[in-house]
Amino acid sequence: METRELTVVAGSFVGFQLLFSVASPRLSSSITPGYRRLPPPKLTEWNSRLVSTVHALIVGFFCLYILWFDDAVNANPVWGDPNLVKLNVAITCGYLIYDLVLLACNWKTMGDSFFVCHHLAALYAYGYVLTRGVLPYFANFRLISELSTPFVNQRWFFEALKYPRSHRMVVSNGVAMAVVFFLVRIAVMPSYWASVFATFGTPEFERLGLGAQVAWITSCIALDVLNTIWMYKIARGCYKVITGRGGAKVKDAEEKKSSVNNHTD
């Protein structure tokens, strides 16, 4: 890994930590009066999800820019010029490390094995991008999934502030969340895997070596399984809200289960 990438990873880790501990409490308390009335565990998760939203917007729109304008990456998805992708991946790795530390420090209230599996699988795969500069197109394609994260976090914000599930903004956000989550995480699976299979047997694929090949394929399978599970939970919750079947008991049960991830691919 080059000095630039290490600097970006370390800088993003520190930056997200400062956003969590300093900027988020001040910004949230000034914009949302209900923030001050939340219990300490909720405050911790609120700040965590605000950081998650900021990260998602940064890397999500950066991904779209690379997809639309970085001809080198799009021309050679396995060995194209990875400079912009490595920068974006380094930001994400810094965020993932920050979030793993946060989860470890608040495991009783925020810990979830799905989150840890998601983060470790992503770090494992992105490590090859940073150290060897391989698979830039596929790494960038994966990060586009972050565009669904702000809607997932906004749903939690509404619940924390005790907005009724029938509220127009809650319903609108829930529908938007389900649609965007499906588009950027589920609907793209066929085209993504078609691109993956198209590289099999090519000289570029053979140059990767067994280690990178295994890291790439296994991490993608793990992430897609997790995304499918989360899509099922989101769709089920969206259906209950739209049909008016999500009562208070359902809401309490879902809060205890903490059903949906707020993190990155």
Whether 147 shows a pLDDT value over 90: the answer reads: yes
Residue 215 has what pLDDT? Answer: 85
Whether 118 shows a pLDDT value over 70: the answer reads: yes
Distance between CA atoms of 236 and 208, rounded to whole angstroms? 40
Q: Delimit the domains of the chain by residue range.
A: 3-262
Whether 81 shows a pLDDT value over 90: the answer reads: no
Residue 1 has what pLDDT? Answer: 64
Residue type, 170: V
pTM, to two decimals: 0.85
Whether 252 shows a pLDDT value over 70: the answer reads: no
Q: Give the confidence band of 248 by pLDDT, cuts at 50, 70, 90.
A: very low
User: Pick the residue with more confidence: 49 or 108?
Assistant: 49
User: Pick the residue with more confidence: 168 or 242?
Assistant: 168
For every residue of 213-251, DSSP letters joined together read HHHHHHHHHHHHHHHHHHHHHHHHHHHHHHHT---HHHH
Distance between CA atoms of 152 and 198, rounded to whole angstroms? 33
Instruction: Select the highest-mean-pLDDT range: 24-28, 220-224, 258-262.
Output: 24-28
- Joined together, the tokens standing for residue 251 give 């809401």
Residue 237 has what pLDDT? Answer: 83
